[in-house]
């Protein structure tokens, strides 16, 4: 028999500790000799990234001991920080951002100097016995300089600049015979999903670039992830026909690789350096990561028959994948189980788990069945999302009641929500909350037009979609219209603040390192996103009026709903003053407000203890401001503007 209890107060075995400490991040696969390598992030070790390896018949082993931390800060969001060739491991060390070389079991040795330099996306140039890397130079005045450099394997050096014709440059790709290299670049105010240039070049006798060719002079397109086949023919991904897909490139001619796929994308927003969306296999076939409606899967494309065969994997999202001979290594995230690193064949038929992202086990009854939803929104448009109902095998709500709804707004805003198993979401659904994981206009995975529909409309279209989605679900009895909550991080935090400033639909909100003053952000953020707002809002300072008009900090009189603010004090993307300013302002106006700041945290919380504190604080905050009891005793949070204090 299920116990009857109000939504939000259901007892749950999914504690905040289980969410944080029982998890590990898996990414950046590489293969060398007979070993598979990957990077593993560990919240219980302060968010440290270690390097793991595995070989058939053995167990995973850690090869990078503490305190080493394999993480790069290029573009602040980082990217591939590890390269393994012939038993030698190169990695970027987070504290000093130097590149190091090591053999497993030996002490790492630096290969770059102690200077304000960062490196990412390195490849091994065997023909010239060197590394080719993206380098970010912070020694210069003004913005750091991003270039493609060659690093000698002898001694310690900062690298020779090979290419500097842009504000940004992507990870290089070498042809199999080492005779050619390809990469992309872009200039302000573009982001890599806006307008990028595809380059290729040969090498002269000194190893410098020669016969440098730009392949897409006249196109306004996002080209990314260049690769070479075994015949040294160039391929790349482009969104020139609205959907990211693979093209064969010959000079300025782009020939689409026909797959029979429609309304789906191979490609995505390159927030980090060095992601691969496809691999060129033998016999002309291609293994590719496909995204459709926020759901990712792996397919094998056969251009000869213009067809694509899905792999038999229960994936909702693909963290990374790597074909090796007739094997395939995949970080697969399903909808009903924690992400795993597994080995399978090119059909996805025989699967063996190498590593799980979580040690926490859970009965299937706690996992809600997701529902992909689309609903009408502003300007006659349609928005999308993933609805998760409450799920608890031991509890049910009183008849005639509807659950509180959390509208979860992803960051970016050029990103996407997928229906993957997340203990952080089950933390809520198991207690009786419903969740709408929102793919508002501007999200990726729905085509270029949908992605660009947010341009000029940030703070308007995304907020309309959040309100429309919550209202649409409430009208169908799937959410309590009086207990609608909005939460988000980074750009999602801005949408949260804007929704509370300009609408009265939500009863509470939680902003994780969100933007309260867009004008201040335009003047004080890192290089990668310093002109992002030109697209999302308008050029600054020419359209200062729009920045002021859409900044929640300038519309305090419209705030009424209680707000929780959570912020890392070492955040270079959204500076801490963004949260502090609006906290002080709302506090002075008597709006129920709480603020938690975390020392040593950057843009996103990596330390387990801080993840636990933030999640418990959020539940405590909602229980206080919405007036329900929690099943467990939680640490208190000081909520300014409420009569009682914890």
> Taking 70 as the threshold, does the pLDDT of residue 165 lie above it?
yes
Q: Write out the two tokens for 592.
A: 């129920």
Distance between CA 71 and CA 80 in Å, rounded?
A: 8
Higher model confidence: residue 43 or residue 213? 213
Q: Is 175 strand, coil or helix?
A: coil
The mean pLDDT value for 443-459 works out to 96
Q: What is the dihedral of CA 218, 221, 222, 224, to 10 degrees?
A: -50
Long-range CB pairs of 542-547 (<8 Å, 24+ gap) are 544/519, 547/518, 547/519, 547/522
Quote the pLDDT of residue 571: 85
- Measured CA to CA, the distance from residue 66 to residue 40 in angstroms comes to 13
- Tell me the mean pLDDT in the region 433-438: 98
Q: Is the pLDDT of residue 22 over 70?
A: no
pTM reported for the whole predicted model: 0.93
Name the pLDDT band for 646 (thresholds 50, 70, 90).
very low
**Segment among 159-173, 183-197, 591-605 with least mean pLDDT:** 591-605
Exposure of 59 in the CB half-sphere (CA atoms within 13 A)? 2
Mean pLDDT on 453-480: 97
pLDDT tens by residue, 291-345: 998 999 999 999 999 999 999 998 999 999 999 999 999 999 999 999 999 999 9
Give the pLDDT band of residue 273 (cuts 50, 70, 90). Answer: very high
According to DSSP H, which parts of 91-216 are helical?
Answer: none
End-to-end, the C-alpha distance of the chain in Å comes to: 35
pLDDT in tens, 56-80: 999 999 999 999 999 999 999 999 9
Domains detected in the chain: 3-15+362-626 (3.40.50.1820), 30-356 (2.130.10.120)
CB count within 10 Å of CB 44 equals: 16
Q: How confident is the model at residue 643 (pLDDT cuts 50, 70, 90)?
A: low
For residue 359, the model assigns a pLDDT of: 84
For residues 281 and 295, what is the distance between their CA atoms, to the nearest angstrom? 24
For position 488, what pLDDT does the model report? 96
What radius of gyration do the chain's Cα atoms show? 24
Greater confidence (287 vs 605) lies with: 287
Cα–Cα distance, 511 to 502 (Å, whole number): 15
Under DSSP, the state recorded for 285 is -
How much is the mean pLDDT over the chain? 94
Q: 508-528 burial, b if ≥16 CB within 10 A, otherwise e? A: bbbbbbbbbbbbbbbeebbbb
Q: Which residues pair with 408 in a beta bridge?
A: 437, 487
Token pair listed for 405: 């709804």
Give mean pLDDT, residues 141-167. Answer: 96
* Per-residue pLDDT, 645: 46
Q: What is the mean pLDDT of residues 90-115?
A: 96
Q: What is the pLDDT of residue 21?
A: 73
| 606 against 568, higher pLDDT | 568
Q: pLDDT for 575-633, tens place per residue?
A: 888 999 999 999 999 999 999 999 999 888 888 899 999 999 999 999 999 999 999 99
pLDDT tens-place string over residues 493-512: 999 999 999 999 999 999 99
């Amino acid at each position: 028999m299920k116990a009857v209890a109000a939504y939000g107060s259901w007892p749950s075995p999914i504690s905040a500790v289980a969410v944080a400490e029982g998890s590990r991040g898996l990414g950046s696969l590489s293969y060398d000799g007979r070993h598979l390598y990957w990077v593993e992030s560990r919240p219980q070790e302060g968010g440290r990234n270690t390097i793991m390896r595995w070989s058939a018949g053995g167990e995973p082993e850690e090869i990078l001991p503490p305190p080493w931390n394999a993480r790069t800060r290029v573009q602040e969001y980082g990217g591939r920080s590890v390269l393994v060739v012939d038993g030698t491991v190169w990695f970027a060390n987070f504290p000093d951002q130097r590149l190091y070389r090591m053999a497993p079991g030996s002490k790492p040795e630096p290969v770059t100097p102690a200077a304000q330099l960062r490196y990412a996306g390195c490849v091994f140039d065997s023909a010239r016995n060197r590394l080719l890397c993206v380098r970010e130079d912070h020694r210069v005045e003004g913005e750091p300089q991003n270039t493609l450099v060659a690093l000698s394997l002898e001694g310690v050096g900062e690298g020779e600049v090979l290419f500097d014709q842009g504000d940004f440059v992507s990870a290089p790709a070498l042809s199999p015979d080492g005779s050619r290299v390809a990469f992309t670049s872009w200039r302000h105010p573009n982001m890599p999903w806006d307008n990028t240039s595809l380059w290729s070049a040969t090498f002269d006798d000194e190893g410098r670039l020669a016969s440098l060719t730009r392949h897409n002079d006249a196109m306004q397109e996002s080209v990314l992830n260049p690769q070479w086949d075994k015949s040294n023919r160039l391929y790349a991904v482009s969104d020139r026909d609205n959907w990211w897909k693979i093209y064969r490139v010959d000079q300025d001619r782009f020939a689409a690789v026909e797959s029979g796929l429609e309304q789906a994308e191979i490609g995505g927003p390159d927030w980090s350096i060095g992601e691969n969306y496809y691999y060129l296999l033998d016999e002309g076939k291609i293994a590719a990561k496909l995204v459709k409606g926020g759901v990712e899967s792996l397919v094998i494309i056969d251009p000869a028959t213009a067809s694509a065969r899905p792999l038999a994997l229960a994936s909702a999202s693909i963290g990374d994948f790597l074909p090796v001979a007739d094997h395939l290594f995949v970080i697969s995230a399903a909808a009903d189980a924690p992400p795993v690193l597994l080995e399978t064949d090119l059909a996805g038929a025989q699967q063996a788990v190498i590593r799980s992202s979580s040690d926490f086990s859970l009965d299937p009854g706690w996992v809600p069945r997701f529902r992909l939803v689309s609903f009408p929104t502003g300007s006659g448009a349609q928005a999308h999302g993933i609805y998760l109902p409450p799920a608890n095998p031991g509890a049910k709500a009183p008849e005639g009641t509807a659950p509180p709804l959390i509208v979860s707004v992803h960051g970016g805003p050029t990103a996407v929500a997928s229906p993957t198993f997340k203990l952080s979401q089950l933390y809520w659904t198991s207690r009786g909350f419903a969740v709408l994981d929102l793919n508002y206009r501007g999200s990726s995975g729905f085509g270029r037009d949908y992605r660009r529909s947010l341009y000029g409309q940030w703070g308007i279209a995304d907020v309309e979609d959040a309100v429309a989605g919550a209202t649409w679900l409430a009208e169908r009895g799937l959410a309590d219209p009086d207990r609608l909550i909005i939460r988000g991080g980074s750009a999602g935090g801005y949408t949260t603040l804007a929704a509370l400033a300009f609408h009265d639909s939500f009863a509470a909100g939680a902003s994780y390192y969100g933007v309260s003053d867009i004008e201040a952000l335009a003047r004080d953020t890192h290089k990668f996103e310093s002109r992002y707002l030109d697209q999302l809002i308008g050029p600054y300072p020419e359209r200062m009026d729009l920045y002021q008009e859409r900044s929640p900090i300038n519309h305090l009189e419209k705030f009424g709903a209680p707000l929780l603010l959570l912020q890392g004090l070492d955040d270079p993307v959204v500076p801490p003053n963004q949260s502090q300013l609006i906290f002080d302002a709302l506090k002075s106006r008597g709006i129920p407000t709480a603020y938690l700041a975390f020392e040593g945290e950057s843009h996103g919380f990596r330390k387990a203890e801080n993840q636990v504190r933030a999640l418990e604080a959020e539940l405590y905050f909602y229980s206080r401001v919405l007036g329900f009891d929690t099943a467990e005793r939680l640490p208190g949070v000081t909520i300014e503007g409420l009569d009682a204090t914890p």
